Amino acid sequence: MKKDILSYDLEELCNEMELLGEKKFRGKQVYEWLHTKRVHYFSNMSNISSSLRTKLDDEYYINSLKIVRKLESSLDNTVKYLYELIDGNHIESVLMEYKHGNSLCISTQVGCKMGCQFCASTIAGFKRHLTPSEMLLQVYEAERDSGKHVDSIVLMGIGEPLDNFDNVVKFLRILSFETGKNLSLRHVSLSTCGLVDKIYELAEYRFGLTLSISLHAVTDEKRSEIMPVNKKYNIAALLQACRDYIDKTGRRISFEYAVIHGVNDTQADADGLIRLLKGINCHVNLIPVNEIKERDYRSDKNALHAFAATLEKGGLNATIRRTLGADIDAACGQLRREYEV
């Protein structure tokens, strides 16, 4: 079986060249073609000898994604891509324009096994992990198609990034490497439902990225009801891992809280959140829950604003997330669901 050449970091690619009986530095040249010039065919690598190009073609493939649907918001220039992977599976990315630049939300798995009740990505279950190349190509394809420069990346699309830990770490390495996209990890956010052991592991890498924790409830009873992962790693264990992460990396954590009317938006919930996060260097993002057709969760404007006001009075740093792409169902997992059903 041919090997996925876009998933190697530079060091690995240089080692591969040695295995092919080539000089190591060829790895650098090939890497530039793949990640800077982003060619789709070995035959385009014009400073590589034709014998090496043939060898590369025999042993490796250059992965690709096909844009099968593209939805453009008429409200705010948000673009949602539905990509087809080479095995026929589908994933989504969303390109958003902010004042500070363009941000791309990417998927890390095909489907998800985490089972969060309000999330469309998990309803049909988990199919497989994405490879590093499939994560990178979401960025490369969005840039190629839109002609825009992606300034920041959020790992908040379909899937649980920390459940695909090794591939995500490799992706981050390639993404931030000076040859290629060269994106500082300060411009990357990684969102997790709370895989505690992996949060400890991630802290050891001391990446500059922003860790986002999907909290969504302030009692174990409520959180376990809407997020099954809480039965394995409860709130206390999760917050302990967060404190450790902040200590080790010096980075502030962002807590995501999808505000769902009648589920987690009472004054008692807001007070609970203040109590839980007291003393933790963090920011809270309140997200009016996106309605998905499989569930009847919705948000209530008044309750949401009262919730935000209580947090502010309590000294928590909180903002209500602006909704982008409201007319194109930009919430994660929704387009893939429509397409696959």
Query: 30 vs 263, which CB is nearer to ligand SAH?
Result: 263
Cβ atoms of 265 and 307 closer than 8 Å: yes
Q: How far apart are CA 178 and CA 324, in angstroms?
A: 31
Residue 92 among the catalytic residues: yes
Measured CA angle at 191 (ends 259, 180), to 5 deg: 140
Query: 55 vs 113, which CB is nearer to ligand SAH?
Result: 113
Residue 22 among the catalytic residues: no
Query: 121 vs 249, which CB is nearer to ligand SAH?
Result: 121
The DSSP 8-state label assigned to residue 285 in this structure reads E
Pick from 153, 239, 276, 332: which binds ligand SAH (CB under 6 A)?
A: 332
Check binding of 214 to ligand SAH (CB under 6 A).
Answer: yes
Check binding of 192 to ligand SAH (CB under 6 A).
Answer: yes
Residue 253 in 3-state DSSP? strand
Check binding of 193 to ligand SAH (CB under 6 A).
Answer: yes
Query: 33 vs 257, which CB is nearer to ligand SAH?
Result: 257
Pick from 156, 199, 241, 263: which binds ligand SAH (CB under 6 A)?
A: 156
Q: Alpha helices of the chain — where are they, by DSSP H? A: 10-19, 26-35, 50-59, 132-146, 165-176, 196-205, 220-226, 235-249, 267-277, 301-313, 334-340
Check binding of 226 to ligand SAH (CB under 6 A).
Answer: no
Pick from 138, 164, 191, 230: which binds ligand SAH (CB under 6 A)?
A: 191
Among candidate residues 112, 116, 242, 332, the one labeled active-site is 332
State which H helix or E strand residue 103 sits in.
strand 101-105
Check binding of 249 to ligand SAH (CB under 6 A).
Answer: no
Among candidate residues 92, 134, 160, 256, the one labeled active-site is 92
Tell the smallest beta-carbon distance from residue 50 to ligand SAH (Å).
Answer: 44
Tell the smallest beta-carbon distance from residue 198 to ligand SAH (Å).
Answer: 12
Residue 68 in 3-state DSSP? strand
Residues in 271-330 at the binding interface with ligand SAH, rule: CB under 6 A:
287, 289-290, 292
Query: Any residues with CB less than 8 A from the CB of 172 and at least 6 apart, and which?
Result: 185, 188, 207, 209
> Per residue in 290-299, is it b (16+ CB within 10 Å) or e — as a string?
bbbeeeebeb
Backbone φ, ψ for residue 216 (5° rounding): 65, -5
Q: How far apart are CA 26 and CA 273, in angstroms?
A: 54
Tell the smallest beta-carbon distance from residue 332 to ligand SAH (Å).
Answer: 5
Residues of this chain that interact with ligand SAH (CB under 6 A) are 114, 116, 118-119, 156, 160, 191-193, 214, 256, 258, 287, 289-290, 292, 331-332
Show which residues are catalytic.
92, 332
